[in-house]
Amino acid sequence: MGKISVSGMHCKHCEMLVTMELEDRGATDVAADSASGTVTFEGDLTPEQVEEAVKAAGFELARS
């Protein structure tokens, strides 16, 4: 399972955008939570694919 933090998600629509982009790249069981800014998913996506999906949805990965 993958878990990422995403900056800028603030509503259900944001969650849907990230979910769709990750699913388009092969992720399954995607669960985006705008309240915590986290997304979990199943699948063998590379870090590059994950970042590409998040950017395509209009967001950025949160950096620690």
Tell whether the model's pLDDT for residue 8 goes beyond 70: yes
- pLDDT score at 64: 60
Residue 44 DSSP class: -
Query: Measured between alpha carbons, how far is 23 from 48 in angstroms, rounded to an integer?
Result: 15
Read off the pLDDT band of 31 (50, 70, 90): very high
Tell whether the model's pLDDT for residue 47 goes beyond 90: yes
Q: What is the mean pLDDT of residues 21-28?
A: 97
Residue pair 30/39 in contact by the 8 Å Cβ criterion:
yes
In percent, how much of the chain has pLDDT > 70? 98
Token duo for residue 42: 């199943």
Tell whether the model's pLDDT for residue 27 goes beyond 80: yes
